[in-house]
């Protein structure tokens, strides 16, 4: 396999796989840490929202610095900060002194550091493999995350039930040390950047490159609305449905694991399937089971039916990620890739903190089931809307460049 001939990619893959396993412990463990402490889905939304809000605030600066500095150094710094933040959260939970404001603050530190890591990681992949191998590399990285998505929630459920959420966060902190070790061993050459401008000038340059590609900004706008209006209610209210109607933490861990198993299957498909119109294929895949998952949770359907739907939904997410990352890495010049991907992160997550914070109050006002039904309906509308845009539906590699040159 091509990865065997690329020692830098092997190290990147190993570090990301270990770190991803730790990260997958967090949603289950942190959710039940907050719910056990206060019983409030609003508090849970605040903690999750603090992490995302900090990521949104810092991701553009992370993109600029990842284009200025060696990208693995930026990632190393991010790993160090996130290790400290999760270690402190774990210590507070283990000694029984954690308050919601403390957890929210530490998760905000975590999110700020993640804002530097994501754009750098996206842009580092093309420095470790040939262009022809990009989709396979992205699919393999997705598979590592998928394996973590299978093992992580199940392991988190066992730890939460047998020990406590604090131990899960302790393990997550340790995985950042492993990731940093792998990154420190990588040897990749520098990317020749354009002449340096001011921070504001480089942010503007990244924005111009971002908005010049219709398929890119329309898809990011879709995710801005999807993550705020659909995914946020699922993230906040799903654990509450599991807790009240499906048997508790184990049920939510099982649903998360099913999503991970499906994602692994999607990752395998992404290694080989190269559709002519990759974004069209990905969004149609979302249609198959995504909105249905919301409806089944809202209806408190049998767990077995929810799990089967989650398997299919998980596969669609991995396919999209493989196609999307490959499109970005092929279409955007290497010297500005981190900045463009930071606008992708910002646009996708801009409204999610509000969605997370609002999910609890909305559910309190109209009910958990009504909120999930509404979120699923909005998911369906957004999918149909984005598929109606020709630049997204008909996108192929280099399609906009060809259209520009012919006009």
Per-residue pLDDT tens over the stretch 328-346: 878 877 777 777 777 787 7
Residues in contact with 131: Cβ distance below 8 Å, sequence separation at least 6, in sequence order: 330
Of 315, 267, 21, 258, the C-alpha closest to 148 is 21
Q: pTM of the full predicted structure?
A: 0.70
Which of left, alpha, beta for 359 (phi over 0: left; psi -120 to 50: alpha)?
alpha
Question: Would you mind telling me the total number of residues written for the chain in this entry?
Answer: 407
Q: Is the pLDDT of residue 262 over 80?
A: yes
Structure tokens, 406: 């012919």
Tokens of 55: 């990521």
Q: Where is mean pLDDT largest: 10-14, 153-157, 162-166, 385-389? A: 385-389
Sequence-ordered strand ranges (E) for 318-398: none
DSSP 8-state secondary structure symbol assigned to residue 1: -
Q: Range with the lowest mean pLDDT among 225-229, 246-250, 396-400, 401-405? A: 401-405
Q: Which of 23-27, 55-59, 138-142, 189-193 is predicted most confidently?
A: 55-59
Whole-Å CA distances, 197 to 61, 63, 66, 68, 235: 13, 14, 14, 10, 40
Work out the angle at residue 349's Cα, subtended by the Cα atoms of residues 344 and 352, and round it to the nearest 5 degrees.
Answer: 165
Domain edges within the chain: 2-187+194-406
Q: In angstroms, how far is the first alpha carbon of the chain from the final one?
A: 41
**Radius of gyration over alpha carbons of the chain, in Å?**
20
Exposed e or buried b per residue across 250-260, where buried means at least 16 C-beta atoms within 10 angstroms of its C-beta: bbbbbbbbbbb
Q: Name the residue with higher pLDDT: 137 or 230.
A: 230
Strand boundaries in 358-398, DSSP class E: none
State the residue for tokens 């942010």. 203
Least confident of 26-40, 350-364, 369-383: 26-40
For 2-187+194-406, give the CATH class. mainly alpha
Structure tokens at 132: 């022809």
DSSP 19-72: HHHHHHHHHHHHHHHHHHHH--HHHHHHHHHHHHHHHHHHHHHHHHHHHHS-HH
Q: What is the pLDDT of residue 289?
A: 85
- In this model, does residue 403 exceed pLDDT 50? no
H helix count then E strand count, the chain: 17, 0
DSSP letter at 212 equals: T
Tell me 160's DSSP state. Answer: H
Closest to 41 (Cα-Cα) out of 367, 297, 352, 290: 367
Provide the pLDDT confidence category of residue 407 given band limits of 50, 70 and 90: very low
Neighbours of 177 (CB within 10 A): 15
User: pLDDT confidence of 194, banded at 50, 70, 90?
Assistant: low
User: What single-letter DSSP state applies at residue 97?
Assistant: -
Is residue 384 pLDDT above 90, yes or no?
yes
Residue 406 pLDDT exceeds 60: no
Q: CB-based contacts of 147: which residues, under 8 Å, 6+ apart?
A: 17, 20, 21, 260, 264
The DSSP string of 213-277 is: -HHHHHHHHHHHHHIIIIIHHHHHHHHHHIIIII-SHHHHHHHHHHHHHHHHHHHHHHHH---SS
Separation of alpha carbons 275 and 115, rounded Å: 31
Tokens 């890119």 sit at which residue? 216
User: Could you give the maximum distance between any two Cα atoms of the chain, in Å?
Assistant: 66
Amino acid 405: pLDDT:
41
- The candidate with the shortest Cα–Cα distance to 301, out of 245, 379, 258, 260, is 245
pLDDT of residue 196: 61
Contact 323, 395 (CB under 8 A): no
The mean pLDDT of 389-398, rounded to a whole number, is 83
CA distance 125 to 122: 6
């Amino acid at each position: 396999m091509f990865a065997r001939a690329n020692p830098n990619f092997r190290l990147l893959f190993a570090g990301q796989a270990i770190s991803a396993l730790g990260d997958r412990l967090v949603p289950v463990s942190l959710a039940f840490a907050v719910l056990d402490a206060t019983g409030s889905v609003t508090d849970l939304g605040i903690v999750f929202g603090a992490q995302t809000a900090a990521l949104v605030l810092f991701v553009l600066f992370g993109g600029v610095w990842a284009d200025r500095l060696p990208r693995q150094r930026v990632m190393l710094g991010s790993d160090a900060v996130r290790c400290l933040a999760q270690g402190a959260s774990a210590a507070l939970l283990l000694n029984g002194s954690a308050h919601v404001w403390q957890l929210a603050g530490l998760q905000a530190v975590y999110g700020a550091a993640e804002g530097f890591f994501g754009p750098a990681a996206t842009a580092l992949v093309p420095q470790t493999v040939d262009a022809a191998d990009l989709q396979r590399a992205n699919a393999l990285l997705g598979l590592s995350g998928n394996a973590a998505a299978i093992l992580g929630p199940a392991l988190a459920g066992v730890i939460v039930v047998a020990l406590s959420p604090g131990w899960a966060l302790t393990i997550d902190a340790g995985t950042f040390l492993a990731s940093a070790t792998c990154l420190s061993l990588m040897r990749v050459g520098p990317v020749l950047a354009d002449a340096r401008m001011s921070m504001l000038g480089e942010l503007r340059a990244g924005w111009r490159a971002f908005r010049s590609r219709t398929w890119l900004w329309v898809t990011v706008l879709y995710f801005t609305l999807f993550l705020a209006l659909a995914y946020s209610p699922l993230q906040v209210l799903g654990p509450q449905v599991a807790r009240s109607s499906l048997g508790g933490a184990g049920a939510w861990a099982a649903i998360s694991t099913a999503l991970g198993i499906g994602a692994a299957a999607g990752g395998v498909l992404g290694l080989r399937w190269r559709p002519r119109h990759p974004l069209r294929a990905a969004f149609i895949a979302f249609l198959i089971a995504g909105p249905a998952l919301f409806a089944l949770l809202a209806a408190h359907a049998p767990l077995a039916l929810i799990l089967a739907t989650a398997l299919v939904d998980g596969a669609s997410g991995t396919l999209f990620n493989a196609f999307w990352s490959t499109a970005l890495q092929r279409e955007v010049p290497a010297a500005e890739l981190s900045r463009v991907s930071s606008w992708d992160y910002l646009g996708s997550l801009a409204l999610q903190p509000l969605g997370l914070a609002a999910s609890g109050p909305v559910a309190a006002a109209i009910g958990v089931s009504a909120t999930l039904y509404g979120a699923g309906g909005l998911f369906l509308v957004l999918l149909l809307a984005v598929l109606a845009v020709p630049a997204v539906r008909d996108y192929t590699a280099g399609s906009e460049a060809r259209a520009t040159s012919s006009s």
